[in-house]
Chain A
Amino acid sequence: MIGEIARKERMEMRRDGRIRSLGGVIAMLTVAALLFGAVQTERAEHDRSHAEERAETQWENQGDKNPHVAAHYGTHVFAPTTVMTAMDPGVSAYLGRSVRVEAHKRNLAANAGAEDGGGISRLGTFSVTRIWLLLVPLLIIAMGYGLWGLERERGTLRQVLSTGVSRGHLYWGKWIALSTAIGALVIPSAALIALTLSILGGGTWDTALRMAALLVGYLLYFGIFIHVTLWLSASLRESRGALVGLIGFWVVLCLILPRGATEWANQSVPLPSEAQLQRDIDQTLETGPDGTQEREEAVEEFISQLMDERGMANVGLMVDQSVLNGIELRAEALWEDLAYDTHMERLAEKTAAQEAAAAQGGWLSPYVAMMHLSAGLAGTDFAHHHHFTSRVELWRKEFVTYLNEAFAEKSGNEGWNYKADAEVWKNAPPFTYSAPSIQLALQTHGGSFGALLLWFILTGIGAHRAAQRVKVVVG
């Protein structure tokens, strides 16, 4: 019986030209957005790999110079691009794409895409995620607002129920009809996305797992709108009222609450200004993280520690000046790292807390929950960016230590006049980066997944109960 009802509903949906057109438009937009995303991802990856090669060439061909002077010259590392950016660029346009690596200083990532756009990013992004998050719910509303109401207005609901069909069977029939119609749009699109991502080089288990998790997330998200549509269609007197109510619901969930959530996050977890951050770092460089140490004393302590480690505690003036220069630079770097790490990690924690506060909006709006979950699974969220920048910092320390040690070991009597050659630059430790597994996304966005599940269950219960109480006649 349920199958018969679903077939009848699907036939009615197929007959409606508007729904066919809207579905067709969404399918075409999905394909167009995927192609655009693929082209942009390819371009970003080309830029990145080209930039990486040029940075390496510049570093190796910088000429002969003192290793510490070379550490001042520094180099750049570039944020990786994931193939899933083609589907969901997330917040990557607002995250720096390169990090300058140099002595004495830990830099923030720079060159975010949005900085250069002249405000174009504010026109709205064109991505598969945006289309699915915004438009598919509207398609569900257009297809389902009259599933109960129109039948009631035409008087067919009374006829059907008088044949002995239960309200429960009718509900599941309509549910299956709406779900399979959406599935007919989503499943082929998902297959196309998977194919495109594998062509772009994403044929890995991790990408497959991320895609699968994304699909589950989207099915929950669309399921929520299916439930709400059936709920309001059954509860409200007129189908016209159900349509206006559903559009109003969509506006609140998909347009108002996402901005409200980020506004709330900004108010509840404010971040310092860049200038304030620098002032705090400068202050810590002078007086230490607890404000009680003098820079020179602290550096002296580090020098003693480093000399102890090298078994040079009691050698006094017998130490070679070049070795002493190297140890001094190393001690200064340790002190500077302490100051930078204190403030940069605090900033990262605050930013993560701000992102988490914005994601809390997912308990009020499934759009917010899915948006955060999707960016996390695509690897285009802040958590993945922070994973990258913290690895860069670990490497920066290793890189600067290598150069300072090269200075200590090779300068001999030449001291600051010593100049190293390309051999030293070539042997510097390379930066290698492995992107985190799906586990990071699941840990960071577990709450968003929970919110979607809760919404799905609660709206499902609501829709089912509304079906049980649906009025048979208008009025």
Chain B
Amino acid sequence: MNVFWRVFALEWRVLRREPAFWGTLLFFSAFLILAALSSDRFISEQTRSMAGIETEESARLDKAQTTLEILQGSTEALSGNDVRDPVWMGETGAARAAMLPPAPLSTVAVGVRDITPQILRVSSQVDQSGAMLTESGMRGPSIMGAGALDPAFLFVVLFPLVLIALSYEILSGERERGTLAMLVSQPVSQTQLVLGKAAARLVLLLALTAVAALLGLQLAGQNWAAPGLGTSLLLFLGILMGWTAFWFALAIWVNSSSASSARNALTLVGFWLALVVLVPGLVQVGVETFAPSGSPLERLHEVRETVQEVESRLNAIEGRHDVDPTAEGYAKNRLATQEELLEKLSPLLAKHRLEQESRTALLGQVQYLSPAIAMQRGLEDIAGSGTHRYQRFVTQTDAYREEFRAFFAERIRSEKQVVAADIPQIPTLTFQEEDSGGLWGRGLAVIGYLLGLTALFVAAALPNLRNIGRLTR
């Protein structure tokens, strides 16, 4: 162990005087901080939207309650947009928003937050299209296509290139400079020599990257007292460690052959290209070919054909401009038609949800085809911006929508008007996070996978490492 630390200290002394090492690290750290700030801007925009909606909802409901208190006991007939009208209140006056709040370490990855609505409108109306107006700023197609400039992008795509730049000539460089022969002539185990050199670089790099990441989070206004942050932070550091170890192990394995530094660099870039660019692209091809998502256009028509007759009746209620919405029987008729519509739609919506769930499950399985996919999904999971948490949100919103609809339907059916005391009783949704066990399980699986691959590459390199003296010849 003593020898290991001596090699470690020697490597540290060498690296301290290496401007390229510090230049690369500073460049990456600066980008990392920039990415954290950029990601935070996106999250903050959503948080502000959510706060704005909460304020607006609360003011709207307070106003409705005050009006209802004034109107208490009034026998005046209902007018349009009347707070006493359960139809109007359910559809518009008391419509709520279901919101998926950012997770404690949300800055790490934007994930699917920018392609899935984080705020869903909940009202008693049946929305056939599934389209919901959201409060998140729209983004042009190029921005959506490019994806966010977030820390996850830097860790998954750029960080390996930094690791390659700092490790591609870990042995071949010594050989080309003529210092390898001198090193192996020392009374030091050859394996310990290489692993010590790699460990020194790995520890330094990890420490500096972690500091840059934490600094980025701090500058992005991270709330360090947020509940659940400890779990997310530990898993984040664990995944980062696994990812770094994997690339160093790969570099050691490549270096254990007798190729030149330039060849090692090209080989490692080739691995990067395969694992970070090609395999994820091919996985997309595989999933789209063998488990394609149902055509949304097909679904659109399936829905339309299923509900055509009911929809026509609903159109006849809503599309006739001569019908008085406050007339007797209108509300019940409309409710009955909407309920019928919902009943017909439910199996189709359930089928669609099931399709989405099985696709997410499939992606969870194929993520192990490339450590880059596992890393990306692991970071998204930790940041609460992955498909797993989003599906939880959609499921909870579906249940909430049903509860909300039932609240007003009951009043329409019993011909009761909305009264002031009803307002605080209107159902609300607070997103329920899963218990930390699930996140630990998925996070540890990714860490285990990365460390397993690390062990494989180190084991493959060991026979050559035990005899690096041959490289000097």
Contact = CB atoms under 8 A, between A and B. Distances in A.
A51 B298 contact: yes
B282 A126 contact: yes
B167 interface: no
A30 interface: no
Contact of A63 (B133, B165, B312, B321): B312
Contacts of B192: none
A8 to B, nearest CB: 21
A125 B146 CA distance: 11
A126 B285 contact: yes
A73 interface: yes
Contact of A119 (B111, B131, B148, B157): B111
B345 to A, nearest CB: 16
Interface stretch (B235-243, B248-256, B261-269): B261-269
Interface in A308-324: none
Given A124-B280, A271-B140, A256 B31 contact: yes
A63 B129 CA distance: 22
B153 interface: yes
B133 A278 contact: yes
Contacts, number: 240
B277 A73 contact: no
A334 B325 CA distance: 24
A463 B42 CA distance: 41
Interface string B250-293: 00000000001111011001100100011011111101110011
Most buried by A among B129, B296, B304, B321: B296
B145 A256 contact: no
Contacts of B59: none
Nearest to B46: A273
Contacts of A261: 146
A138 B140 contact: no
Contacts of B116: 115
B316 interface: yes
Nearest to A64: B312
A118 B293 contact: yes
A329 B260 CA distance: 79
B319 A72 contact: yes
Contacts of A71: 319
Assign chain B's interface to a size class: 35 or more
B91 interface: no
A356 to B, nearest CB: 10
B10 interface: no
Contacts of B356: 116, 118
A260 B138 CA distance: 18
B318 interface: yes
A125 B376 contact: no
A140 B15 CA distance: 31
A173 interface: no
Nearest to B112: A119
A78 B298 CA distance: 12
B316 to A, nearest CB: 5
Interface stretch (A87-95, A189-197, A283-291, A465-473): A87-95
A273 B149 contact: no
Contact of B269 (A97, A247, A262): A247
Interface of B: 31, 38, 41, 49, 111-112, 115-116, 119, 121, 129, 131, 133-149, 153, 157-158, 161, 165, 169, 260-263, 265-266, 269-270, 273, 277-278, 280-285, 287-289, 292-298, 300-301, 304-305, 308, 311-312, 315-316, 318-323, 356, 359-360, 363, 373, 376, 380, 386-387
6 contacts: A98-B297, A98-B300, A116-B356, A122-B147, A273-B137, A355-B140
Given A111-B297, A142-B266, A351-B140, 11 more contacts: A51-B300, A54-B301, A63-B312, A66-B319, A118-B359, A119-B111, A240-B262, A244-B165, A272-B137, A273-B138, A274-B138
